[in-house]
Chain A
């Protein structure tokens, strides 16, 4: 199973970013945490199969993506994004730097609304577009990395990113119009 301390360090470095990738894909914090746990368990079990240590991160993302799609299949449908409130709403508050001013209640509301808007827009994207959008725009992965993670050609990835951007911008515009 490998050295437990090394596994703990790996978890410490990658847990947050993998969790957020999963969260943006499934839209539910509870589901994302469950999936994240499965991702690391699978990764630590299969770690010996990894040939190139430098490709660890794309490999971990690939496991996460597979687990997400497995969760979708179990759910037999599209992921439903959670509305703010409850545990999610409590955790959506931003962490401000000490240099920043103290957020007012209005700031917090606006921030929470922004989080809800982002999740709603992401939830409206088809999973195929959503995954490349999250990887390219939010996680700032290169096209080559995304192609490696999602297992599609570079051209397909570029096209999907463009389509996802255009689609997301359209949905965001509609959402903001409704908000007005």
Chain B
């Protein structure tokens, strides 16, 4: 190793701090006694330090992580899809179906009630009109509906055709 400075590759294990290389210790011991090689190594080390200078270093862009995070997260649905998607979570779906069933039941029931009430009024009106036409009198003290209904059940009870065998032919 007397002329190690003419073979600078021999310094590489030392420059790169590769202590596992068998030459590392050899070079280190040699540098303790050889001034030219010591100077040569110092030159190489200063050369390396130029490249380690932070002059050529840059910082990571400040918002890069946000951009990466946006790419690795599942995309958030937008618009109408985003608003309705939570409704389809299992427990919310069950709750919504229950509410919808109750609402629908209430609507149907109230519709039936309204229809019954309407038909009842129509019937009462028809009976009243019939009673007026036929001259029947609604009992003043009784339930007009019952009275009229009783007449409606037997429309010929007070009619001029009571007792006739074929009232239907006359009505036609």
Note whether A and B form a binding pair.
yes
User: Which of B31-39, B55-63, B126-134, B141-149 makes up part of the contact surface?
Assistant: B55-63
Q: Which of A19, A29, A45, A172 contacts B47 (CB 8 A)?
A: A172
A20 touches B58 (CB 8 A): yes
Interface: B18 (CB within 8 A): yes
Binds B, one of A49-57, A67-75, A157-165: A157-165
CA of A75 to CA of B74, assembled, Å = 31
How far is it, in angstroms, between the C-alpha of A24 and the C-alpha of B58 when the chains are bound? 10
Looking at the complex, which one of B8, B47, B57, B61 makes contact with A33 (CB distance below 8 Å)?
B61
How far does the Cβ of B121 sit from chain A's closest Cβ, in whole Å?
Answer: 67
For this complex, into which size category does the number of interface residues on chain A fall? Answer: 35 or more
B166 within 8 A of A: no
Q: Mark B47-59, 1 if CB is under 8 A from A, else 0.
A: 1101111111111
Which residues 1-44 in B have Cβ within 8 Å of A in the complex? 8-9, 12, 15-18, 21, 44
Number of A-B contacts (CB under 8 A): 108
**In the complex, are the beta carbons of A115 and B64 less than 8 A apart?**
no
B16 touches A23 (CB 8 A): no
Ranked nearest first, the 10 interchain pairs of A and B with the lowest CB-CB distance are A115-B55, A15-B60, A118-B56, A114-B55, A162-B9, A115-B56, A111-B55, A137-B48, A19-B60, A11-B65
